[in-house]
Structure 1
Amino acid sequence: MSSATPHHAWDVHRLPSAEGKNFLVTGGNAGIGYFVAEQLAATGALVVLGSRDPARADAALASLRSRVPGARVRHLRLDVAALSSLKAAVDALDLGHLDAVVHNAGVALDDPPRRETVDGHEMMFGTNHLGHFALTRHLAHLLSAAPAGRVVTTGSFAARSERLDLDDLESTRDYRPKRTYGRSKLAQMSFGFALDRRLRAVGSTVLSVVAHPGGALDPLTPPRPPMTASTPGQRLRALPAGLLVQGKDAGAWPTVRAVLDPEVRGGELWGPRFFGLRGTPRREPVPAHMADPEVAARLWDASCALTGSDPHLGFSGDR
């Protein structure tokens, strides 16, 4: 940006109006996704919660409406782990354009057994990465129809210490839950950066941005019963951790800024200000292993093969 551009102060508690805009948040019924939806709803935008569980979505919608009077929110039945269901889900959006999709839904498995999606993909890689990769293709026409559409991918601090095994993306030979989770988030983030490079190459108006929440703990999160309600004892025990990490409401700030801030550019990484773990959102340097073009190209080709997606993903001009 030119040095003549005026400084733009961002206040996480005074977000700009987004009236007339449409946002989709996958996994918006719980955790960080819920707080992303709550903060976006306060801007006057239509916020669609993508969730596979109608009961949990209803609870989230009730909470949103109680916290944000006049909130324009609704639920979309969406299971990113079921690839064959994605087109019908997008058709059910019934929108003329989509200003941003937040790729937030995800799973983290602590139990040793390896699990698979209905399509036979390892659960974390299949949900966190492949599902969002395929969903992007189905949303391409709606994002391209917006004046300045955005794909915002929610990554994880856990991806920093991982490297992709391109010969074992689905952990069929060596499955360790924490490592597999970190690699699935690294795949998501690598996709987010690679997508923006491809969009810029064809002159698309759509941007792809990556954000991460840093360290975000439930006991440090404001209660939103029945979704989030830690006990007094849990909150008390978590207080020392608050020096280094934060609640999920604050963990949503980098993603919300990546959606709303007109000064955000494609290919950027946003996270918490202090050590990437807590604080207000700032732009971070992109780690080299997340933006490696050779790794990204091989991951892209593998993702197309595993999801049956066209390599161009259908964005305007991407032909």
Structure 2
Amino acid sequence: MSAASQSRPWDVHRLPSAAGRTFLITGGNAGIGYFAAEQLAATGAVVILGSRDRARADAAMASIRSRVPGARVRHLPLDLADLSSLKRAVDALDIGHLDAVVHNAGVALDDPPRRRTVDGHELMFGTNHLGHFALTQWLAPLLSTAPAGRVVTVGSFAARSERLDLADLQSAQDYRPKRTYGRSKLAQMSFGFELDRRLRTAGSRVLSVVAHPGGALDSLTPSRPPVAVTSPGVRLRALPCALVVQGKDAGAWPIVRAVLDPGVQGGQLWGPRVFGLRGAPRHEPVPSHMADPAVAAHLWAASTELTGSEPHLGFR
């Protein structure tokens, strides 16, 4: 990229070319992940949608191709709630390197009962955090081979008000769905910041960046049938909310910038400009509880044990 292009203000509607690069987005078939995939596909990159549902992935790819002529998109069967399946999934990628992975897929439950993954872990913590933690190990060789690999972890505004209970990471003793979800996203963000510290210590070229979509509502999101349909009436009624929040298309902007912008640095947090809830993407200060080294070390050790991963996740 030329010096002139690097000096231009970031424009969410005029993204730099990423031709020749390959990106994997977990949960790229819906929501924030879909719009990140659509926007990245427009840069000329190969975009891989990690999804356990083939039909939904096919619908997402058809939608992207209808809006991005010549889009290079493909599907990777991926189930983050089944740790034993992740190495096979990565082997099926059949690529020489991976320029970025976006850890986006997530489960959010509103009501009890407490549910479990195939491996017996609490479903939200197990999918949102442990699944991505384990996946990172299998992707490490591909990311390390890239000229400037990135791990972009998608957090949530909900994590700001939560704190990890290191004695009950999986909410076995006190399960409250919304709190458990917020803590699972906090665990993801803590992992993203700790991963970058470890990558810097190891002298790796790979960067770990954390991004969040702010307040992103379905009712303010443009329709992408058959992936998602928002009626004009629903959007009209939601317009007052647009003063403080936004749609999922705009919610994808910080994630896309974290993937593409050559000025982004490891260990940074990116989110919407206006109160962290809406607007163009900006670099945000990292809340201290998200990057506490002692908490992160405890979480990392527990995650390593629970997933059977290597302590250094295989990066070089």
Taking structure 1 as the reference length, what is the TM-score of the superposition?
Answer: 0.97
CA distance in 2, matches of 1:37, 1:81: 22
Query: What is residue 32 of structure 1 aligned with on the other side?
Result: 32
Tell me the amino acid that sits aligned with residue 76 of structure 2: L
Query: What is residue 3 of structure 1 aligned with on the other side?
Result: none
CA distance in 2, matches of 1:66, 1:227: 12
Query: What is residue 70 of structure 1 aligned with on the other side?
Result: 70
Query: What is residue 241 of structure 1 aligned with on the other side?
Result: 241
Give the 5 Å matches for 1:114-263: 114-263=114-263
CA distance in 1, matches of 2:15, 2:164: 36
CA distance in 1, matches of 2:152, 2:145: 17
Query: What is residue 307 of structure 1 aligned with on the other side?
Result: 307
Q: Which whole-Å deviations, capped at 9, do the CAs of 1:178-206 have from their partners, x for residues lacking one?
A: 10000000000000000000000011000
Q: Which whole-Å deviations, capped at 9, do the CAs of 1:57-78 have from their partners, x for residues lacking one?
A: 0000000100100000000000
The SS at the match of 1:175 is: coil
CA distance in 1, matches of 2:237, 2:299: 41
Deviation at 1:8, TM superposition (A): 4.3
CA distance in 1, matches of 2:75, 2:135: 16
Query: What is residue 97 of structure 2 aligned with on the other side?
Result: 97
Tell me the amino acid that sits aligned with residue 23 of structure 2: F
CA distance in 1, matches of 2:224, 2:231: 12
CA distance in 2, matches of 1:195, 1:270: 16
Deviation at 1:7, TM superposition (A): 4.6
Tell me the amino acid that sits aligned with residue 196 of structure 1: D
CA distance in 2, matches of 1:32, 1:7: 28
Deviation at 1:233, TM superposition (A): 2.6
Q: Which whole-Å deviations, capped at 9, do the CAs of 1:43-68 have from their partners, x for residues lacking one?
A: 00000000000000000000010010
Tell me the amino acid that sits aligned with residue 33 of structure 1: G
Deviation at 1:231, TM superposition (A): 2.3
CA distance in 2, matches of 1:172, 1:269: 30
Tell me the amino acid that sits aligned with residue 228 of structure 1: A
CA distance in 2, matches of 1:123, 1:233: 35
RMSD: 0.8
Taking structure 2 as the reference length, what is the TM-score of the superposition?
Answer: 0.97
CA distance in 2, matches of 1:311, 1:88: 20
Query: What is residue 88 of structure 1 aligned with on the other side?
Result: 88
Query: What is residue 285 of structure 1 aligned with on the other side?
Result: 285
Residue 18 in 1 paired to residue 18 in 2? Answer: yes
Unaligned runs of 5+ in 2: 1-5
CA distance in 1, matches of 2:213, 2:195: 21
The SS at the match of 2:301 is: helix
The SS at the match of 1:93 is: coil
Deviation at 1:112, TM superposition (A): 1.7
The SS at the match of 1:281 is: strand
Q: After TM superposition, what 4+ stretches of structure 1 lie above 6 angstroms from structure 2? A: none
Q: Which whole-Å deviations, capped at 9, do the CAs of 1:201-253 have from their partners, x for residues lacking one?
A: 01100000000000000110110011111223321221111110000000000
CA distance in 2, matches of 1:125, 1:233: 36
CA distance in 1, matches of 2:223, 2:7: 35
CA distance in 1, matches of 2:94, 2:47: 13
